[in-house]
């Protein structure tokens, strides 16, 4: 856990990166950091002052926030964020696949949100790609989105689950964790993704039923009523013994 002064220093550092990106003529958010054919999202408003201490002590996650504000908080994929981090040297990304490191740190952030008591809103939001519904782009959430998240948790709109406490003394103690890993998801894209999943399930169910009908229409043939089904016994093939073994056997017979 970091101190409040260190948390303020991290927040101010992120704000300086955002100020540099907006003031310089050659903005940090260059077009080389992104895939213009897939990323068609517009920049969004954000509130970095609500950064939690658990997230501020993660250097890679702080670098992810710097990359987002450097790109004017345009929803970005982990690959785009990794490219921006390495280009501007916000931190060192280890491993052969830097974007996998970025993706894992984002997942750890959402995991911390789930395990936090009481529930707190995540600093990141995500939107799904309009064509690839399983591909997400991340951005820094605004204050309005974070307040709405808390309000939904209090009203019970966002589902929560009670899990046993880690304390061994009180087994009946419960803690409530939030089961929603993101602040906002585009409703139209989410509905399209749900429709595609339903269609895949329907096609899979039709294929399964067709296979069952085919199996019942071609029952196994039997030789006579009441007889057990025929079993195909393969003839046993005996391999010939090697020549050296045969010579040993002959020697033993002569010695006897």
Specify the pairing of strand 136-140 against strand 124-128: antiparallel
Residues whose CB is less than 8 angstroms from the CB of residue 136 and which lie 6 or more positions away in sequence, other chains included: 77, 126, 127, 128, 129
- Residue 126 pairs in a beta bridge with 138
206 exposure class (CB count in 10 Å sphere: 0-12, 13-18, 19+): exposed
Q: What is the pTM of this model?
A: 0.61
The model's pLDDT over 16-43, given as tens digits with 9 standing for 90+, comes to 998 888 876 444 444 455 554 466 788 8
> Could you give the CA distance from residue 135 to residue 78 in angstroms, rounded to a whole number?
10
pLDDT tens figures, 111-142:
888 788 877 888 999 888 777 777 889 999 99
Specify whether the CB–CB gap between 45 and 73 falls below 8 A: yes
User: What are residue 200's DSSP bridge partners?
Assistant: none
Question: Which percentage of the chain shows pLDDT scores above 70?
Answer: 66
Q: Give yes or no for a contact between 61 and 55, defined as CB atoms under 8 angstroms apart.
A: yes
Which strand (E) or helix (H) includes residue 251? helix 243-255
């Amino acid at each position: 856990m970091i101190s409040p002064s260190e948390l303020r220093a991290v927040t101010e550092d992120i704000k300086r990166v955002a100020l540099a990106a907006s003031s310089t003529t050659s903005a940090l958010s260059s077009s080389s950091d992104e895939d213009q054919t897939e990323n068609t999202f517009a920049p969004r408003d954000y509130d970095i002052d609500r950064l939690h201490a658990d997230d501020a002590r993660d250097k890679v996650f702080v670098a992810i926030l710097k990359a987002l504000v450097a790109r004017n908080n345009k929803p970005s994929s982990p690959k785009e964020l990794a490219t921006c981090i390495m280009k501007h040297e916000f931190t060192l990304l280890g491993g052969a696949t830097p974007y996998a490191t970025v993706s894992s740190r984002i997942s750890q952030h959402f995991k911390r949100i789930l395990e936090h008591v009481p529930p707190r809103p995540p600093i990141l939001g995500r939107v799904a790609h309009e064509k690839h519904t399983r591909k997400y782009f991340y951005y820094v959430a605004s204050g309005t989105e974070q307040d709405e998240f808390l309000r939904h948790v209090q009203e019970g709109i966002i589902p929560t689950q009670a899990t046993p406490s880690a304390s061994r003394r009180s087994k009946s103690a419960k803690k409530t964790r939030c089961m929603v890993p993101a602040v906002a998801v585009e409703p139209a894209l989410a509905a399209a993704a749900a429709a595609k999943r339903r269609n895949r399930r329907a096609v899979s169910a039709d294929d399964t039923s067709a296979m069952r009908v085919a199996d019942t229409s071609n029952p196994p043939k039997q030789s006579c009523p009441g007889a057990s089904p025929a079993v195909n016994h393969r003839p046993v093939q005996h391999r010939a013994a090697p020549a050296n073994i045969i010579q040993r056997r002959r020697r033993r017979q002569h010695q006897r």
